[in-house]
C-alpha cells in the first residue's frame, strides 16, 4: 500500500530558491500600486543611504550593496551606473555580484549592456558564495544564498548558522525573513518559522510577509495576527495582482479550511490573476475541493515555475505515469524540497515502476531520512523486488506518531509477510491496518488496503482469497476512481488462474 502525499493539506508556504530566480518573479519588488492610487512609493531610506555611500566611495562593495538593494525594492533604473561598474572588464567583482548586476540591467531594460556570452542566473557554485561572505561578511543576501547551498547538500548545521547571520544583519528584509522561516520549517521547527515572520516589524504592511504569517500560523497552531489586515489589503484593490497573489491564496486557503467555500473561491480567483508558481500550485491543488477549474491550461503552459501546479493537474486527472518527469523539473527549482520526491515515488509506486520508486526514495531520504512517505514507498517497491529484509528494516523506522503513515506501514508489513509465505501473519497485519483506518474514519484508505490485501491473497491462493476479492470489489466501486483498477485486475486474474 502506498502513501498519497498529494491529498495532504497544502498551505501557501513561501518558496526558497536562488536570489536571482526569486528576483525574476517579482516576489521581492516593492508593492506596485494600481492606477487608482495617488502616487508610487518612494525609495526607502536604506536605498537612499546606499546610493549616497556609492557616490562618496564608488567601489565594488558599495556598488554591490546598492544594486542588491535596488533589486529588492524594484528601483533598478536608479542604479544603472553601479551595475555597469560591476560588469566592467576591469572590475574585481565576484561572479555572484556580476550575475546580480546583469539581472539588474536586464530588469531595467538595458540588455545591450550585458555580454551575449553571459547567461543570466546560471547555477553558481557554493564556493562562490562562501568567497563572497568572506570578502563581504556584512552582505545578508549572500549568507542566505550560502544557507541554501548548505541545506541542498544536507548540511543543516551550516545552513542554520549562515541563516542566523543573515537574520542578524537584515532582520526586516523580506527575502531573508521568508528564506529563514522556510529553512526552519525544513528543520522541523514550525514555531520558530512562525515567530520569525510574526515578530518582524516589516510584516505589518507587507503582503508577501502577511501571506507567510497566515500559513505558518496554521502549521504552528497559532492564531494568525494579520488575517483582517490581509483581507483589507486584498479587497482594497490598491496593489497590482502580482503583489497580492500569495496573500489572496493564503486567505482563500484559510477560508476553505473554515468551511467558507464561496469566500475561498473569490479569494482564489484574485490569486490567479497574475500568480506566482506557488500561488498557481495552491489554486490547482484546491480546485477539486471547490469543484471548479481555477487554473487555465494556458497558465499551466506559460507561467514560470508551474511545475508543481502541473503535477497537481496530472494527479487530478489521474495521469500518474506523467507525474515523475514533471517532478524532476520541479526539483530543478526546489532542490531541497522533499515533496517532489514523495509525490514522484508515490506515482511510480501506483504505476508499479519499482526501480524508479527506489531511485526517488533513495535520493529523497538523503534530504529527509525520516520521511514516512518515502520509507513506505521504498519498502513497498523492495517487497515487490524480493528484498524482504531491507523492506522490513525500512518499515521499522516508521513510528506510531506518524499517523496514517504508520497504518500504511502495517499494511506494507502485511505485504512483506504475504510475499514471504507467512500468510496468516500477512492477513492479520492487513486487517489491523484496515481496522485502524476505520477507527480514524479513513474509510478510503481502508478500501485501498482491502484491494491490496485481495491481490496478495489471490496470488498466494489462500482459502480466504475468494471472500477477500469479493470484499475488494465493493471497496473498489466505492472509491469511484480508476486508479486501483490494475490492482483489482491482478487479484481477479490470480483468482481465476487458481480456480482453473
Residue 268 lies in a domain: no
Residue 409 lies in a domain: yes
pLDDT range class, residue 400, cuts 50, 70, 90: confident
For residues 429 and 336, the model is more confident at 429
Residue 482 lies in a domain: yes
Average pLDDT, integer, range 199-225: 94
**Tens-digit pLDDT profile for residues 216-257:** 999 999 999 999 999 999 999 888 899 999 999 999 999 999
pTM (2 d.p.): 0.81
Residue 496 lies in a domain: yes
Domain interval for residue 411: 399-500
Average pLDDT, integer, range 354-370: 94
How many structural domains does the chain have? 1
Report d(CA 377, CA 348) in Å as an integer: 9
pLDDT the model gives residue 39 = 42
Residue 348 lies in a domain: no
Give me the percent of the chain exceeding a pLDDT of 70.
90
Q: Which residues pair with 33 in a beta bridge?
A: 239
Sign (positive or negative) of CA dihedral 107, 113, 119, 125 = negative
pLDDT range class, residue 446, cuts 50, 70, 90: very high
pLDDT the model gives residue 120 = 45
pLDDT the model gives residue 365 = 93
Average pLDDT, integer, range 274-302: 92
**Tens-digit pLDDT profile for residues 6-53:** 778 899 999 998 877 787 777 876 665 555 444 444 556 667 888 888
Residue 289 lies in a domain: no
Give me the percent of the chain exceeding a pLDDT of 90.
62
| C-beta of residue 71 within 8 angstroms of C-beta of residue 107 | yes
Residue 53 lies in a domain: no
pLDDT range class, residue 415, cuts 50, 70, 90: very high
**Tens-digit pLDDT profile for residues 80-115:** 888 889 888 888 887 767 877 887 787 666 766 666
Residue 480 lies in a domain: yes
pLDDT the model gives residue 190 = 95
Amino acid at each position: 500500500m502506498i502513501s498519497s502525499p498529494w491529498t495532504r493539506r497544502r498551505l501557501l508556504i513561501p518558496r526558497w530558491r536562488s536570489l536571482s530566480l526569486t528576483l525574476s518573479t517579482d516576489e521581492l519588488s516593492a508593492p506596485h500600486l494600481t492606477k487608482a492610487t495617488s502616487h508610487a512609493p518612494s525609495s526607502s531610506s536604506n536605498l537612499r543611504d546606499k546610493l549616497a555611500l556609492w557616490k562618496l566611495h564608488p567601489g565594488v562593495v558599495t556598488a554591490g550593496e546598492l544594486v542588491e538593494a535596488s533589486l529588492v525594492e524594484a528601483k533598478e533604473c536608479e542604479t544603472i551606473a553601479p551595475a555597469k561598474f560591476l560588469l566592467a572588464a576591469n572590475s574585481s567583482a565576484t561572479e555572484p555580484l556580476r550575475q546580480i548586476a546583469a539581472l539588474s540591467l536586464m530588469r531595467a531594460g538595458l540588455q545591450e549592456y550585458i555580454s551575449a556570452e553571459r547567461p543570466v542566473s546560471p547555477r553558481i557554485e557554493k564556493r562562490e558564495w562562501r568567497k563572497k561572505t568572506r570578502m563581504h561578511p556584512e552582505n545578508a543576501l549572500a549568507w542566505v544564498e550560502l544557507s541554501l547551498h548548505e541545506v541542498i547538500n544536507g548540511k543543516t548545521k551550516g545552513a542554520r548558522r549562515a541563516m542566523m547571520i543573515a537574520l542578524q544583519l537584515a532582520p526586516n528584509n523580506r527575502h531573508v525573513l521568508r528564506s529563514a522561516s522556510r529553512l526552519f520549517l525544513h528543520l522541523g521547527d514550525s514555531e520558530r518559522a512562525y515567530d520569525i515572520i510574526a515578530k518582524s516589524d516589516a510584516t505589518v504592511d507587507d503582503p508577501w510577509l502577511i501571506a507567510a504569517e497566515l500559513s505558518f500560523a496554521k502549521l504552528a497552531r497559532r492564531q494568525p495576527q494579520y488575517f483582517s489586515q490581509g483581507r483589507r489589503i486584498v479587497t482594497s484593490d490598491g496593489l497590482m495582482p502580482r503583489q497580492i497573489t500569495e496573500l489572496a491564496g493564503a486567505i482563500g486557503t484559510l477560508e476553505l479550511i473554515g468551511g467558507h467555500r464561496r469566500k475561498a473561491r473569490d479569494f482564489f480567483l484574485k490569486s490567479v490573476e497574475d500568480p506566482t508558481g506557488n500561488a498557481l500550485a495552491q489554486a490547482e491543488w484546491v480546485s477539486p475541493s471547490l469543484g471548479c477549474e481555477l487554473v487555465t491550461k494556458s497558465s499551466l503552459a506559460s507561467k514560470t515555475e508551474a511545475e508543481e501546479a502541473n503535477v497537481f493537474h496530472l494527479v487530478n486527472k489521474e495521469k500518474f505515469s506523467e507525474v515523475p518527469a514533471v517532478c524532476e523539473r520541479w526539483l530543478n527549482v526546489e532542490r531541497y524540497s522533499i515533496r517532489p520526491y514523495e509525490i514522484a515515488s508515490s506515482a511510480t509506486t501506483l504505476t508499479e515502476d519499482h526501480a524508479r520508486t527506489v531511485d526517488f526514495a533513495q535520493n529523497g531520504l538523503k534530504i529527509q531520512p525520516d520521511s514516512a512517505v518515502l520509507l513506505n514507498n521504498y519498502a513497498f517497491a523492495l517487497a515487490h523486488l524480493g528484498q524482504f529484509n531491507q523492506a522490513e528494516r525500512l518499515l521499522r523506522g516508521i513510528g506510531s506518531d506518524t499517523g496514517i503513515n504508520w497504518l500504511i506501514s502495517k499494511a506494507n508489513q502485511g505485504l512483506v509477510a504475504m510475499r514471504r509465505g507467512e500468510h496468516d501473519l500477512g492477513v492479520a497485519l492487513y486487517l489491523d491496518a484496515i481496522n485502524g483506518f476505520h477507527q480514524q474514519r479513513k474509510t478510503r484508505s481502508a478500501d485501498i488496503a482491502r484491494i491490496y490485501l485481495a491481490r496478495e491473497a489471490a496470488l498466494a491462493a489462500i482459502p480466504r482469497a475468494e471472500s477477500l476479492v469479493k470484499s475488494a470489489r465493493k471497496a473498489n466501486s466505492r472509491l469511484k476512481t480508476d486508479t486501483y483498477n490494475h490492482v483489482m485486475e491482478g487479484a481477479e486474474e490470480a483468482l481465476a488462474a487458481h480456480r482453473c
